[in-house]
Amino acid sequence: MKQTLSRMANKLSPGGSLSVVLTVGAALAVLLLFISTAIVDEVLEKETVQFDQMIYGWLHQMHSEAITADVIFLTNMGSAFRLIPIYVLLVLVLLIWRKREEALMLTFALGGGGALNYVLKQIFRRSRPDVEHLVEAGGYSFPSGHAMVSFIFYGMLAYLVWYYLYEYPIWRYSIPALLVLLGISIGISRVYLGVHYATDVIAGFTIGGIWLIACIVGLRALHWYKEKQSS
């Protein structure tokens, strides 16, 4: 089993087969699409009320001034005024390192993810939870923009770190794990703060995951095309 996983990781690593990346990516995307569709159906049928109330009630029991301050700091890591400066800095670094494909796909991931989230919110027009909001939040609720865009952005960063730090195994896995954890934590923070239902956040993760997979596969395709052009 360990050898099988190792071989699969090698194929997904730099220089690995594009067909394997496409196959794995398609399989994961189909799974996430199935989950997303199920969530949308349940939300439209208003069958998630009990689940959403249960999750919010559990998080509400944890409310305290100290925890809330930390959660607000965390949720701000998924806001536009934090993500955009980080994005600009990373794009500049990537361009200096002549990683134009990575800069392009990071732009596509963040910009496209934000646009997709806006369109989906206009389609579903779900109101925000009728509970105390601990931070300001406007617009519609489903799917969560913070959860979706943060999962895409930090997920893309996690992939780039994993892709390029293959000579440093400890950092290659620890940094991406922390970045993914950050993206997930930002989503959870939105439920704690009362501005999203749990199903908003879960849908943000699953739909964002589909977009993230598309961007990663797109980046690998660009690498493959560039290698073909230079050979």
- Give me the tens of pLDDT residue by residue for the chain, a chain 231 residues long: 444 444 444 444 554 567 788 888 899 999 999 999 999 999 999 999 999 999 999 999 999 999 999 999 999 999 999 999 999 999 999 999 999 999 999 999 999 999 999 999 999 999 999 999 999 998 999 999 999 999 999 999 999 999 999 888 899 999 999 999 999 999 999 999 999 999 999 999 999 999 999 999 999 988 888 877 776
pTM of the model: 0.89
Measured between alpha carbons, how far is 51 from 37 in angstroms, rounded to an integer?
Answer: 17
Give all domains of the chain, ordered by start, each with its CATH number.
22-230 (1.20.144)
The pLDDT of residue 8: 44
The pLDDT of residue 229: 78
The pLDDT of residue 17: 67
The pLDDT of residue 5: 40
> Residue 20, CB half-sphere, CA atoms under 13 Å: how many?
11
The pLDDT of residue 88: 97
Q: Nearest 5 degrees, angle CA 146-CA 50-CA 151?
A: 20
Q: Is the dihedral of CA 50, 51, 53, 54 positive or negative?
A: positive
| Beta carbons of 59 and 192 less than 8 angstroms apart | yes
The pLDDT of residue 16: 53
The pLDDT of residue 228: 78
Measured between alpha carbons, how far is 38 from 84 in angstroms, rounded to an integer?
Answer: 32
